[in-house]
Chains A and B, each alone.
Chain A
Amino acid sequence: MRKRGLKFYMSIYRKILIQDLKSKMSYRADFIISTIGMIMTNLSGFVTFMILFHNFPTINGWDYYHMLFLYGFSLVALTPVQCFFDNNWNLRFMVQSGDFIKYCFRPVNVFFYFMSEVFDVKGLGQLAFGIGTIVYAWIKIGIPVTPLVILKLIVFLFTASLFMIALMNFAAATCFWIKNSGYVMVIMFRFKDFAKYPSSIFEGIFKVIFTFLIPIAFIAYYPSLVILSPDNVPVLSWISPLFGLIFFYLSYKFWMLGVRKYDFTGS
Protein backbone atom coordinates (compact mmCIF):
# COMPACT_ATOMS: atom_id res chain seq x y z
CA MET A 1 0.00 0.00 0.00
CA ARG A 2 1.16 3.51 -0.82
CA LYS A 3 2.26 5.56 2.13
CA ARG A 4 -0.20 8.36 2.86
CA GLY A 5 0.90 11.69 4.25
CA LEU A 6 -0.42 13.74 7.12
CA LYS A 7 -2.44 15.86 4.70
CA PHE A 8 -4.41 12.87 3.47
CA TYR A 9 -5.31 11.84 7.01
CA MET A 10 -6.23 15.39 7.98
CA SER A 11 -8.70 15.69 5.13
CA ILE A 12 -10.27 12.33 5.96
CA TYR A 13 -10.50 13.29 9.61
CA ARG A 14 -12.30 16.51 8.68
CA LYS A 15 -14.84 14.63 6.55
CA ILE A 16 -15.60 12.01 9.21
CA LEU A 17 -15.77 14.68 11.90
CA ILE A 18 -18.43 16.64 10.00
CA GLN A 19 -20.55 13.50 9.64
CA ASP A 20 -20.23 12.77 13.34
CA LEU A 21 -21.20 16.32 14.34
CA LYS A 22 -24.21 16.20 12.00
CA SER A 23 -25.48 13.03 13.61
CA LYS A 24 -24.91 14.50 17.09
CA MET A 25 -26.92 17.58 16.22
CA SER A 26 -30.01 15.45 15.82
CA TYR A 27 -29.90 14.64 19.53
CA ARG A 28 -29.82 18.15 20.86
CA ALA A 29 -31.22 17.36 24.31
CA ASP A 30 -28.56 14.71 24.78
CA PHE A 31 -25.84 17.18 23.86
CA ILE A 32 -27.06 19.79 26.34
CA ILE A 33 -27.50 17.31 29.19
CA SER A 34 -24.08 15.75 28.53
CA THR A 35 -22.43 19.15 28.60
CA ILE A 36 -24.16 19.97 31.87
CA GLY A 37 -23.04 16.61 33.23
CA MET A 38 -19.46 17.28 32.23
CA ILE A 39 -19.45 20.69 33.88
CA MET A 40 -21.01 19.16 36.99
CA THR A 41 -18.24 16.58 37.34
CA ASN A 42 -15.69 19.39 37.08
CA LEU A 43 -17.59 21.50 39.58
CA SER A 44 -17.77 18.56 41.96
CA GLY A 45 -13.99 18.22 41.77
CA PHE A 46 -13.74 21.92 42.53
CA VAL A 47 -16.11 21.64 45.50
CA THR A 48 -14.05 18.73 46.86
CA PHE A 49 -11.04 21.05 46.77
CA MET A 50 -12.87 23.83 48.58
CA ILE A 51 -13.97 21.43 51.30
CA LEU A 52 -10.45 20.01 51.65
CA PHE A 53 -8.87 23.42 52.02
CA HIS A 54 -11.67 24.49 54.35
CA ASN A 55 -10.23 21.93 56.80
CA PHE A 56 -6.55 21.79 55.90
CA PRO A 57 -4.34 24.78 54.99
CA THR A 58 -1.85 22.90 52.83
CA ILE A 59 -1.36 19.46 51.33
CA ASN A 60 2.22 18.24 51.37
CA GLY A 61 3.49 21.81 51.21
CA TRP A 62 1.18 22.76 48.35
CA ASP A 63 -1.10 25.69 49.04
CA TYR A 64 -4.56 26.34 47.60
CA TYR A 65 -3.51 28.18 44.43
CA HIS A 66 -0.73 25.77 43.50
CA MET A 67 -3.18 22.91 43.90
CA LEU A 68 -5.70 24.75 41.75
CA PHE A 69 -3.06 25.17 39.07
CA LEU A 70 -2.38 21.45 39.20
CA TYR A 71 -6.11 20.74 38.98
CA GLY A 72 -6.56 23.02 35.98
CA PHE A 73 -3.50 21.52 34.35
CA SER A 74 -4.88 18.01 34.76
CA LEU A 75 -8.26 19.05 33.33
CA VAL A 76 -6.69 20.51 30.20
CA ALA A 77 -4.35 17.54 29.85
CA LEU A 78 -7.35 15.20 30.04
CA THR A 79 -9.25 17.02 27.29
CA PRO A 80 -7.64 15.33 24.24
CA VAL A 81 -8.43 11.86 25.53
CA GLN A 82 -12.01 12.97 26.07
CA CYS A 83 -12.41 14.74 22.72
CA PHE A 84 -10.45 12.62 20.26
CA PHE A 85 -10.20 9.17 21.81
CA ASP A 86 -13.64 8.71 23.27
CA ASN A 87 -14.45 5.89 20.85
CA ASN A 88 -12.25 3.62 22.98
CA TRP A 89 -15.28 3.23 25.22
CA ASN A 90 -17.22 1.61 22.36
CA LEU A 91 -14.42 -0.73 21.37
CA ARG A 92 -15.49 -3.69 23.47
CA PHE A 93 -19.09 -3.57 22.20
CA MET A 94 -17.84 -3.45 18.61
CA VAL A 95 -15.44 -6.32 19.17
CA GLN A 96 -18.06 -8.43 20.90
CA SER A 97 -20.76 -7.86 18.30
CA GLY A 98 -18.35 -8.30 15.40
CA ASP A 99 -19.01 -4.82 14.02
CA PHE A 100 -15.34 -4.08 14.45
CA ILE A 101 -14.52 -5.97 11.28
CA LYS A 102 -15.65 -3.01 9.17
CA TYR A 103 -12.62 -1.00 10.31
CA CYS A 104 -10.26 -3.66 9.05
CA PHE A 105 -11.57 -3.47 5.49
CA ARG A 106 -10.74 0.20 4.88
CA PRO A 107 -7.49 1.23 3.22
CA VAL A 108 -6.58 3.53 6.10
CA ASN A 109 -4.91 2.94 9.43
CA VAL A 110 -7.35 1.01 11.64
CA PHE A 111 -6.48 2.92 14.80
CA PHE A 112 -6.84 6.26 13.06
CA TYR A 113 -10.13 5.34 11.40
CA PHE A 114 -11.62 3.95 14.59
CA MET A 115 -10.72 7.00 16.70
CA SER A 116 -11.73 9.52 14.06
CA GLU A 117 -15.30 8.29 14.11
CA VAL A 118 -16.17 10.04 17.34
CA PHE A 119 -15.37 13.57 18.38
CA ASP A 120 -16.68 14.24 21.83
CA VAL A 121 -17.92 17.83 21.94
CA LYS A 122 -18.59 17.88 25.67
CA GLY A 123 -14.86 17.67 26.31
CA LEU A 124 -14.69 21.31 25.24
CA GLY A 125 -16.60 22.31 28.37
CA GLN A 126 -13.87 20.67 30.42
CA LEU A 127 -11.21 22.48 28.37
CA ALA A 128 -12.83 25.85 29.09
CA PHE A 129 -13.13 25.02 32.78
CA GLY A 130 -9.52 23.89 32.91
CA ILE A 131 -8.15 26.95 31.14
CA GLY A 132 -10.18 29.20 33.42
CA THR A 133 -8.75 27.46 36.49
CA ILE A 134 -5.17 27.70 35.18
CA VAL A 135 -5.52 31.41 34.39
CA TYR A 136 -7.03 32.15 37.80
CA ALA A 137 -4.32 30.22 39.66
CA TRP A 138 -1.62 31.71 37.40
CA ILE A 139 -2.64 35.27 38.32
CA LYS A 140 -2.91 34.47 42.03
CA ILE A 141 0.51 32.79 42.16
CA GLY A 142 2.00 35.57 40.06
CA ILE A 143 3.96 33.57 37.51
CA PRO A 144 5.51 35.98 34.96
CA VAL A 145 3.96 35.76 31.50
CA THR A 146 6.65 35.41 28.84
CA PRO A 147 6.48 33.71 25.43
CA LEU A 148 8.90 31.07 26.67
CA VAL A 149 6.70 30.13 29.63
CA ILE A 150 3.62 29.94 27.41
CA LEU A 151 5.50 27.72 24.97
CA LYS A 152 6.63 25.48 27.82
CA LEU A 153 3.06 25.28 29.10
CA ILE A 154 1.74 24.17 25.72
CA VAL A 155 4.50 21.62 25.15
CA PHE A 156 4.07 20.10 28.59
CA LEU A 157 0.27 20.10 28.42
CA PHE A 158 0.62 18.15 25.19
CA THR A 159 3.07 15.81 26.87
CA ALA A 160 0.78 15.24 29.81
CA SER A 161 -2.18 14.44 27.59
CA LEU A 162 -0.23 11.62 25.91
CA PHE A 163 -0.09 9.64 29.13
CA MET A 164 -3.84 9.50 29.68
CA ILE A 165 -4.45 8.64 26.01
CA ALA A 166 -1.93 5.82 26.28
CA LEU A 167 -3.50 4.54 29.50
CA MET A 168 -6.95 4.44 27.95
CA ASN A 169 -5.59 2.74 24.82
CA PHE A 170 -4.05 0.03 26.95
CA ALA A 171 -7.24 -0.37 28.96
CA ALA A 172 -9.52 -0.47 25.92
CA ALA A 173 -7.31 -2.90 23.99
CA THR A 174 -7.62 -5.48 26.77
CA CYS A 175 -11.07 -6.26 25.31
CA PHE A 176 -9.38 -8.15 22.50
CA TRP A 177 -8.26 -10.71 25.06
CA ILE A 178 -10.72 -10.66 27.95
CA LYS A 179 -14.49 -10.50 28.19
CA ASN A 180 -16.24 -7.72 30.02
CA SER A 181 -13.20 -5.45 29.95
CA GLY A 182 -15.37 -2.49 30.86
CA TYR A 183 -14.07 -2.80 34.41
CA VAL A 184 -10.49 -2.17 33.31
CA MET A 185 -11.49 1.04 31.57
CA VAL A 186 -13.62 2.31 34.44
CA ILE A 187 -10.77 1.70 36.87
CA MET A 188 -8.15 3.39 34.70
CA PHE A 189 -10.52 6.28 34.24
CA ARG A 190 -10.93 6.62 38.00
CA PHE A 191 -7.17 6.78 38.56
CA LYS A 192 -7.17 10.10 36.77
CA ASP A 193 -8.93 11.59 39.82
CA PHE A 194 -5.62 11.26 41.62
CA ALA A 195 -3.70 13.13 38.95
CA LYS A 196 -4.72 16.40 40.55
CA TYR A 197 -2.74 15.73 43.73
CA PRO A 198 1.04 16.19 43.99
CA SER A 199 2.70 12.84 43.48
CA SER A 200 5.28 13.67 46.12
CA ILE A 201 2.82 12.09 48.56
CA PHE A 202 3.80 8.59 47.45
CA GLU A 203 6.66 6.70 49.03
CA GLY A 204 8.77 3.66 48.29
CA ILE A 205 7.56 1.05 45.85
CA PHE A 206 4.32 2.90 45.17
CA LYS A 207 6.22 5.94 43.99
CA VAL A 208 7.76 3.71 41.31
CA ILE A 209 4.41 2.11 40.43
CA PHE A 210 2.53 5.38 40.05
CA THR A 211 5.39 6.94 38.11
CA PHE A 212 6.35 4.25 35.66
CA LEU A 213 3.71 1.52 35.68
CA ILE A 214 0.47 3.47 36.04
CA PRO A 215 1.95 6.89 35.26
CA ILE A 216 -0.59 9.14 36.99
CA ALA A 217 2.32 11.21 38.25
CA PHE A 218 2.91 12.33 34.67
CA ILE A 219 -0.67 13.40 33.95
CA ALA A 220 -0.16 16.65 35.81
CA TYR A 221 2.46 16.60 38.54
CA TYR A 222 5.80 16.27 36.72
CA PRO A 223 4.90 18.33 33.63
CA SER A 224 3.42 21.16 35.69
CA LEU A 225 6.55 21.46 37.85
CA VAL A 226 8.26 23.01 34.82
CA ILE A 227 5.95 26.01 35.20
CA LEU A 228 5.41 26.00 38.96
CA SER A 229 8.99 25.71 40.18
CA PRO A 230 11.22 26.80 37.28
CA ASP A 231 14.32 26.95 39.49
CA ASN A 232 14.06 23.41 40.67
CA VAL A 233 12.78 21.17 37.91
CA PRO A 234 13.36 17.44 38.44
CA VAL A 235 14.97 15.44 35.63
CA LEU A 236 11.79 13.40 35.24
CA SER A 237 9.95 16.55 34.17
CA TRP A 238 12.40 17.27 31.41
CA ILE A 239 12.35 13.77 30.00
CA SER A 240 8.56 13.47 30.28
CA PRO A 241 7.94 14.44 26.61
CA LEU A 242 10.18 11.62 25.43
CA PHE A 243 8.66 9.25 27.96
CA GLY A 244 5.16 10.26 26.86
CA LEU A 245 5.90 9.56 23.21
CA ILE A 246 7.33 6.15 24.05
CA PHE A 247 4.37 5.32 26.24
CA PHE A 248 1.92 6.40 23.56
CA TYR A 249 3.76 4.41 20.91
CA LEU A 250 3.70 1.29 23.08
CA SER A 251 -0.03 1.65 23.69
CA TYR A 252 -0.60 2.06 19.95
CA LYS A 253 1.41 -1.09 19.25
CA PHE A 254 -0.53 -2.97 21.92
CA TRP A 255 -3.83 -1.80 20.44
CA MET A 256 -2.77 -2.88 16.96
CA LEU A 257 -1.57 -6.22 18.30
CA GLY A 258 -5.12 -6.71 19.55
CA VAL A 259 -6.49 -5.90 16.10
CA ARG A 260 -4.18 -8.46 14.51
CA LYS A 261 -5.27 -11.08 16.99
CA TYR A 262 -8.91 -10.20 16.27
CA ASP A 263 -8.35 -10.80 12.57
CA PHE A 264 -6.99 -14.23 13.16
CA THR A 265 -9.99 -15.40 15.17
CA GLY A 266 -12.00 -14.61 12.08
CA SER A 267 -15.26 -13.85 13.85
Chain B
Amino acid sequence: MNPKRLLALTRAGIMESLYFRLGIFVTLFANLIYLVLVYYLWKAIYASSGTDVVNGMTFTDTMIYLILATAIFNFLEMFVVWDMSRSIQSGKIVLDLLKPMRYRKYTFWSYTGNHVVQFFLTFVPTFIVVMIVTHGAIKFGLNIIWFLVATVFALIINYNIEMLVAPICLFTESTWGINIVKETIVLLLSGATIPLAFFPEKIRMIVQYLPFRAVYDIPLSILLGKSGSDTWDGLLKLFGLQIVWLIVLTVAGNIFWNCAVKKITVNGG
Protein backbone atom coordinates (compact mmCIF):
# COMPACT_ATOMS: atom_id res chain seq x y z
CA MET B 1 0.00 0.00 0.00
CA ASN B 2 1.34 3.35 -1.00
CA PRO B 3 2.01 5.38 2.17
CA LYS B 4 1.11 8.54 0.30
CA ARG B 5 -2.50 7.42 0.08
CA LEU B 6 -2.62 6.73 3.80
CA LEU B 7 -1.10 10.09 4.64
CA ALA B 8 -3.68 11.76 2.41
CA LEU B 9 -6.33 10.36 4.75
CA THR B 10 -4.40 11.70 7.74
CA ARG B 11 -4.24 15.13 6.12
CA ALA B 12 -7.95 15.13 5.42
CA GLY B 13 -8.55 14.17 9.06
CA ILE B 14 -6.35 17.01 10.28
CA MET B 15 -8.23 19.52 8.18
CA GLU B 16 -11.57 18.17 9.33
CA SER B 17 -10.60 18.40 13.01
CA LEU B 18 -9.21 21.89 12.62
CA TYR B 19 -12.54 22.93 11.21
CA PHE B 20 -14.05 22.21 14.62
CA ARG B 21 -11.50 24.31 16.51
CA LEU B 22 -13.97 25.39 19.14
CA GLY B 23 -14.45 21.80 20.25
CA ILE B 24 -10.71 21.50 20.84
CA PHE B 25 -10.61 24.60 23.03
CA VAL B 26 -13.62 23.43 24.98
CA THR B 27 -11.90 20.08 25.57
CA LEU B 28 -8.74 21.81 26.72
CA PHE B 29 -10.71 24.09 29.01
CA ALA B 30 -12.57 21.11 30.45
CA ASN B 31 -9.27 19.34 31.06
CA LEU B 32 -8.12 22.31 33.11
CA ILE B 33 -11.30 22.31 35.21
CA TYR B 34 -10.91 18.58 35.57
CA LEU B 35 -7.37 19.19 36.76
CA VAL B 36 -8.72 21.43 39.51
CA LEU B 37 -11.31 18.84 40.57
CA VAL B 38 -8.77 16.03 40.68
CA TYR B 39 -6.31 18.23 42.53
CA TYR B 40 -8.69 19.10 45.37
CA LEU B 41 -10.19 15.64 45.62
CA TRP B 42 -6.89 13.82 45.93
CA LYS B 43 -5.40 16.52 48.11
CA ALA B 44 -8.23 15.88 50.55
CA ILE B 45 -7.83 12.12 50.24
CA TYR B 46 -4.09 12.25 50.91
CA ALA B 47 -4.60 14.73 53.75
CA SER B 48 -6.95 12.27 55.49
CA SER B 49 -4.59 9.32 55.08
CA GLY B 50 -1.78 10.82 57.13
CA THR B 51 1.01 9.40 54.97
CA ASP B 52 2.63 10.85 51.90
CA VAL B 53 3.09 7.65 49.93
CA VAL B 54 0.27 5.17 49.41
CA ASN B 55 1.05 2.00 47.44
CA GLY B 56 4.13 3.64 46.01
CA MET B 57 2.17 6.63 44.71
CA THR B 58 2.64 10.13 46.07
CA PHE B 59 -0.01 12.81 45.73
CA THR B 60 1.85 14.34 42.79
CA ASP B 61 2.18 10.95 41.07
CA THR B 62 -1.53 10.28 41.45
CA MET B 63 -2.46 13.68 40.13
CA ILE B 64 -0.19 13.48 37.09
CA TYR B 65 -1.42 9.95 36.43
CA LEU B 66 -5.13 10.81 36.54
CA ILE B 67 -4.93 14.07 34.61
CA LEU B 68 -2.79 12.66 31.87
CA ALA B 69 -5.10 9.63 31.73
CA THR B 70 -7.94 12.03 30.95
CA ALA B 71 -5.80 13.84 28.40
CA ILE B 72 -4.90 10.54 26.74
CA PHE B 73 -8.57 9.56 26.86
CA ASN B 74 -9.45 12.72 24.95
CA PHE B 75 -6.90 12.23 22.28
CA LEU B 76 -7.45 8.48 21.88
CA GLU B 77 -11.20 8.85 21.85
CA MET B 78 -12.72 7.36 18.73
CA PHE B 79 -16.35 7.20 17.81
CA VAL B 80 -16.04 4.04 15.75
CA VAL B 81 -19.03 2.45 17.48
CA TRP B 82 -21.23 5.47 16.81
CA ASP B 83 -19.93 6.07 13.30
CA MET B 84 -20.37 2.48 12.29
CA SER B 85 -23.90 2.15 13.60
CA ARG B 86 -24.88 5.46 12.04
CA SER B 87 -23.44 4.53 8.66
CA ILE B 88 -25.24 1.19 8.84
CA GLN B 89 -28.53 2.94 9.57
CA SER B 90 -28.07 5.42 6.77
CA GLY B 91 -26.61 2.89 4.38
CA LYS B 92 -23.40 4.87 3.94
CA ILE B 93 -21.35 1.85 4.98
CA VAL B 94 -21.89 0.36 1.52
CA LEU B 95 -19.89 3.21 0.01
CA ASP B 96 -17.09 2.67 2.51
CA LEU B 97 -16.99 -1.03 1.78
CA LEU B 98 -16.73 -0.36 -1.93
CA LYS B 99 -13.66 1.85 -1.50
CA PRO B 100 -10.45 0.38 -2.93
CA MET B 101 -9.03 -0.06 0.55
CA ARG B 102 -9.80 -2.44 3.40
CA TYR B 103 -12.49 -0.95 5.64
CA ARG B 104 -10.48 -1.41 8.84
CA LYS B 105 -7.45 0.26 7.34
CA TYR B 106 -9.52 3.10 5.92
CA THR B 107 -11.22 3.81 9.26
CA PHE B 108 -7.95 3.72 11.15
CA TRP B 109 -6.14 6.12 8.85
CA SER B 110 -9.03 8.54 8.60
CA TYR B 111 -8.93 8.84 12.39
CA THR B 112 -5.18 9.47 12.58
CA GLY B 113 -5.60 13.11 11.55
CA ASN B 114 -7.87 13.71 14.50
CA HIS B 115 -5.37 12.00 16.81
CA VAL B 116 -2.55 14.23 15.58
CA VAL B 117 -4.56 17.42 16.08
CA GLN B 118 -5.84 16.34 19.50
CA PHE B 119 -2.33 15.37 20.58
CA PHE B 120 -0.84 18.77 19.83
CA LEU B 121 -3.80 20.95 20.79
CA THR B 122 -5.11 19.19 23.91
CA PHE B 123 -2.55 16.70 25.20
CA VAL B 124 0.57 18.85 24.91
CA PRO B 125 -0.99 21.96 26.53
CA THR B 126 -2.44 19.83 29.33
CA PHE B 127 0.97 18.24 29.80
CA ILE B 128 2.61 21.66 30.05
CA VAL B 129 0.07 22.86 32.61
CA VAL B 130 0.61 19.71 34.68
CA MET B 131 4.35 20.37 34.56
CA ILE B 132 3.83 23.91 35.82
CA VAL B 133 1.39 22.94 38.57
CA THR B 134 3.64 20.15 39.87
CA HIS B 135 6.81 22.25 39.49
CA GLY B 136 8.32 19.90 36.93
CA ALA B 137 7.73 16.62 38.75
CA ILE B 138 7.98 14.63 35.52
CA LYS B 139 11.55 13.64 34.79
CA PHE B 140 12.78 14.41 31.31
CA GLY B 141 14.87 11.67 29.78
CA LEU B 142 14.49 8.51 27.78
CA ASN B 143 11.16 7.92 29.51
CA ILE B 144 9.54 10.57 27.31
CA ILE B 145 10.53 8.67 24.18
CA TRP B 146 9.37 5.35 25.62
CA PHE B 147 6.14 7.03 26.66
CA LEU B 148 5.51 8.18 23.09
CA VAL B 149 6.22 4.70 21.73
CA ALA B 150 3.88 3.16 24.31
CA THR B 151 1.21 5.70 23.42
CA VAL B 152 1.34 4.73 19.76
CA PHE B 153 0.89 1.09 20.80
CA ALA B 154 -1.94 2.17 23.08
CA LEU B 155 -3.61 3.95 20.19
CA ILE B 156 -3.54 0.84 18.02
CA ILE B 157 -4.78 -1.39 20.86
CA ASN B 158 -7.57 1.07 21.61
CA TYR B 159 -8.56 1.07 17.96
CA ASN B 160 -8.67 -2.70 17.92
CA ILE B 161 -10.85 -2.80 21.02
CA GLU B 162 -13.21 -0.37 19.29
CA MET B 163 -13.23 -2.48 16.14
CA LEU B 164 -13.98 -5.60 18.17
CA VAL B 165 -16.92 -3.92 19.90
CA ALA B 166 -18.41 -1.93 17.01
CA PRO B 167 -19.53 -4.88 14.86
CA ILE B 168 -21.60 -6.15 17.81
CA CYS B 169 -24.00 -3.33 16.88
CA LEU B 170 -24.64 -5.15 13.65
CA PHE B 171 -26.23 -7.93 15.63
CA THR B 172 -27.95 -6.08 18.48
CA GLU B 173 -29.15 -2.77 17.02
CA SER B 174 -27.95 -1.22 20.25
CA THR B 175 -25.38 1.55 20.15
CA TRP B 176 -25.60 3.50 23.38
CA GLY B 177 -25.69 0.33 25.49
CA ILE B 178 -22.75 -1.36 23.78
CA ASN B 179 -20.72 1.82 23.90
CA ILE B 180 -21.32 2.52 27.59
CA VAL B 181 -20.46 -1.07 28.55
CA LYS B 182 -17.20 -0.82 26.60
CA GLU B 183 -16.34 2.57 28.02
CA THR B 184 -17.05 1.59 31.61
CA ILE B 185 -14.96 -1.56 31.42
CA VAL B 186 -12.05 0.12 29.65
CA LEU B 187 -11.96 3.16 31.95
CA LEU B 188 -12.18 1.16 35.16
CA LEU B 189 -9.80 -1.68 34.31
CA SER B 190 -7.24 0.51 32.55
CA GLY B 191 -6.66 2.69 35.57
CA ALA B 192 -8.13 5.84 34.05
CA THR B 193 -10.67 6.20 36.87
CA ILE B 194 -8.42 5.21 39.73
CA PRO B 195 -4.75 4.25 39.38
CA LEU B 196 -4.17 0.52 39.17
CA ALA B 197 -1.66 0.79 42.03
CA PHE B 198 -4.58 1.30 44.43
CA PHE B 199 -6.39 -1.90 43.42
CA PRO B 200 -6.40 -4.70 46.02
CA GLU B 201 -3.55 -7.13 45.46
CA LYS B 202 -5.62 -10.06 44.17
CA ILE B 203 -7.62 -8.04 41.66
CA ARG B 204 -4.49 -6.29 40.46
CA MET B 205 -2.86 -9.64 39.68
CA ILE B 206 -5.63 -10.32 37.17
CA VAL B 207 -6.09 -6.79 35.81
CA GLN B 208 -2.34 -6.58 35.19
CA TYR B 209 -2.54 -9.00 32.30
CA LEU B 210 -5.68 -7.66 30.62
CA PRO B 211 -5.41 -5.59 27.44
CA PHE B 212 -7.11 -2.52 28.98
CA ARG B 213 -4.08 -1.78 31.06
CA ALA B 214 -2.03 -1.41 27.90
CA VAL B 215 -4.08 1.62 26.90
CA TYR B 216 -3.63 3.96 29.88
CA ASP B 217 -1.66 2.36 32.68
CA ILE B 218 1.42 1.24 30.75
CA PRO B 219 2.20 4.56 28.99
CA LEU B 220 1.62 6.49 32.22
CA SER B 221 3.66 4.08 34.35
CA ILE B 222 6.51 4.42 31.88
CA LEU B 223 6.28 8.20 31.99
CA LEU B 224 6.33 8.25 35.79
CA GLY B 225 8.96 5.52 36.06
CA LYS B 226 6.66 3.17 38.01
CA SER B 227 5.96 -0.58 37.70
CA GLY B 228 9.65 -1.32 37.25
CA SER B 229 9.84 0.65 34.02
CA ASP B 230 13.04 2.33 35.18
CA THR B 231 14.97 -0.87 34.42
CA TRP B 232 15.46 -2.39 30.98
CA ASP B 233 13.98 -5.64 32.21
CA GLY B 234 10.77 -4.05 33.45
CA LEU B 235 10.47 -1.86 30.39
CA LEU B 236 10.74 -4.89 28.10
CA LYS B 237 8.04 -6.65 30.09
CA LEU B 238 5.62 -3.75 29.69
CA PHE B 239 6.28 -3.40 25.98
CA GLY B 240 6.02 -7.18 25.60
CA LEU B 241 2.57 -7.15 27.13
CA GLN B 242 1.50 -4.35 24.80
CA ILE B 243 2.84 -6.10 21.70
CA VAL B 244 1.25 -9.43 22.59
CA TRP B 245 -2.15 -7.81 23.03
CA LEU B 246 -1.67 -5.73 19.92
CA ILE B 247 -1.15 -8.86 17.83
CA VAL B 248 -3.92 -10.86 19.52
CA LEU B 249 -6.49 -8.08 19.20
CA THR B 250 -5.57 -7.25 15.61
CA VAL B 251 -5.97 -10.86 14.54
CA ALA B 252 -9.19 -11.31 16.53
CA GLY B 253 -10.60 -8.04 15.22
CA ASN B 254 -9.83 -9.01 11.64
CA ILE B 255 -11.54 -12.37 11.95
CA PHE B 256 -14.56 -10.93 13.73
CA TRP B 257 -14.97 -8.10 11.22
CA ASN B 258 -14.73 -10.48 8.26
CA CYS B 259 -17.51 -12.59 9.76
CA ALA B 260 -19.65 -9.62 10.74
CA VAL B 261 -19.44 -7.83 7.41
CA LYS B 262 -21.27 -10.71 5.76
CA LYS B 263 -24.19 -10.12 8.12
CA ILE B 264 -24.73 -6.48 7.23
CA THR B 265 -28.24 -5.77 6.10
CA VAL B 266 -28.87 -2.24 5.00
CA ASN B 267 -32.46 -1.18 4.84
CA GLY B 268 -32.96 0.48 1.50
CA GLY B 269 -29.33 1.52 1.25
Contacts and interface: CB of A to CB of B under 8 A. Distances in A.
Contacts of B193: 44, 48
A180 B54 CA distance: 41
Given A30-B177, A55-B198, A202-B40, A180 B20 contact: yes
Given A33-B177, A179-B20, A201 B43 contact: yes
Contact of A183 (B26, B48, B54, B173): B26
B98 interface: no
Given A29-B173, A47-B188, A184-B26, A37 B180 contact: yes
Given A180-B20, A187-B30, A201 B198 contact: no
Nearest to A37: B180
Interface string B23-65: 1001100100110110011011101110000110000000000
A214 B32 CA distance: 14
A56 B195 CA distance: 14
B197 to A, nearest CB: 9
Determine the main DSSP class of B at the interface with A. helix
A47 to B, nearest CB: 7
B177 to A, nearest CB: 3
Looking at A33, A52, A57, the one whose CB has the most chain B CB atoms below 10 A away is: A33
B82 to A, nearest CB: 10
B49 A55 contact: yes
A60 B45 CA distance: 7
B137 to A, nearest CB: 21
B103 interface: no
Contacts of A58: 48
B22 interface: yes
Nearest to B181: A37
A185 to B, nearest CB: 10
A142 interface: no
Interface in A147-203: 178-180, 182-184, 187, 190-191, 194, 197, 201-203
B40 A36 contact: no
Contacts of A52: 45, 194, 198
A56 B49 contact: yes
Nearest to B46: A56
B265 interface: no
Contacts of A94: none
Nearest to A40: B184
A79 to B, nearest CB: 16
Contacts of B180: 34, 37-38, 40-41
B123 to A, nearest CB: 16
Nearest to B55: A55
B176 interface: yes
A178 B187 CA distance: 29
B209 interface: no
Nearest to B201: A54
B49 A37 contact: no
Interface string A121-160: 0000000000000000000000000000000000000000
Nearest to A49: B194
B173 A30 contact: yes
A51 interface: yes
B178 interface: yes
Contacts of A178: 22
Contact of A33 (B37, B43, B181): B181
Nearest to A26: B173
A191 B37 CA distance: 9
Contacts of A38: 180
B27 A183 contact: yes
Contacts of B185: 40
Given A48-B193, A52-B198, A201-B41, A27 B26 contact: no
B177 A37 contact: yes
A187 B174 contact: no
Given A29-B173, A59-B44, 5 more contacts: A34-B180, A38-B180, A40-B181, A60-B45, A187-B26
15 contacts: A30-B177, A33-B172, A33-B174, A35-B177, A40-B180, A44-B188, A52-B194, A52-B198, A55-B55, A183-B23, A190-B34, A202-B40, A206-B36, A210-B37, A214-B33
A-B pairs with lowest CB-CB distance, top 10:
A33-B177, A34-B177, A30-B174, A37-B180, A201-B44, A187-B30, A33-B174, A60-B44, A37-B177, A183-B26
Interface of A: 27, 29-30, 32-38, 40-41, 44, 47-48, 51-52, 54-61, 178-180, 182-184, 187, 190-191, 194, 197, 201-203, 206, 210, 214
